[in-house]
A and B are shown apart, each in its own frame.
Chain A
Amino acid sequence: MRTIDELRRSGVSIGPDRSIRDGATVMEQSGVGSLAIIDGHELVGIVTDRDLVRRGLATGLPTDTTIDRVMSSPVIAIDADTDLDVAFGLFRTHMVRRLAVMRDGQFIGMITVDDLIVGLAADLRDLTWPIKGEVLFPQHDRPVSSG
């Protein structure tokens, strides 16, 4: 399975010169938890709602501060056609919850740990059905004949 196959959410980006306030408003209006920061055509950073709180609000930065002051950079990214196993490894190695998904060097969206867990939960539910069936309706083997 490719990474792109698990890309469920739309991606939203703004430029690095936009304000923290603009970033928060765009997050709220678009319903996303993170923004890709793109300068021209280059992905230069990522800002999450947590970044806005911890690096912006908690440190007392004015809301008109440019968003590149609170972004994380460089961004951990993965190519859209890369096997999903590689994404798992990146999450584990870099201890991040989001990966930027790229195609031909361009940002196309974000894949999150939450998205993968939802997918895995659905797969596990499918696998538990035969086990649940066996527990609820056990099939008793015919006793071995003695003669």
Chain B
Amino acid sequence: MQASVGDRVIIHGHRSGEPDRDAEVLEVRGASGAPPYVVRWGDSGHESLFFPGSDASVQHFEHTTT
């Protein structure tokens, strides 16, 4: 998995009806976009270190520079 600051990581639910969880990537600790990532969870604003497993995916966003 590769991610950049500003991307969104999603943990897909493991059980039927279980909602997906999402977080914003704030910092990439691995080399070349590799995990782990410092992320901010949903609307809570709480941050943690995230180690994506096979239940996770990344939504990439265009990162424009001005």
- Check if A and B associate: yes
Indicate if the CB atoms of A107 and B51 lie closer than 8 Å.
yes
Give the docked Cα–Cα distance between A7 and B55 (Å): 10
By the criterion of a CB under 8 Å from any partner CB, how many residues of chain B are at the interface? 22
Which residues of B lie under 8 Å from residue A7 when comparing CB positions?
53-54
B13 touches which of A11, A31, A107, A108 (Cβ 8 Å): A31
Question: Does any Cβ of B come within 8 Å of A8's Cβ?
Answer: yes
Give the number of residue pairs across the A-B interface with Cβ within 8 Å.
61
Looking at the complex, which of A21-29, A53-61, A69-77, A127-135 is the stretch in contact with chain B? A21-29
Which residues of B lie under 8 Å from residue A22 when comparing CB positions?
46
Give the docked Cα–Cα distance between A35 and B51 (Å): 11
Question: Does any Cβ of B come within 8 Å of A38's Cβ?
Answer: yes
Question: Does any Cβ of B come within 8 Å of A13's Cβ?
Answer: yes
Which residues of A lie under 8 Å from residue B11 when comparing CB positions?
10, 30-31
Indicate if the CB atoms of B46 and A12 lie closer than 8 Å.
no
B46 touches which of A9, A11, A26 (Cβ 8 Å): A26
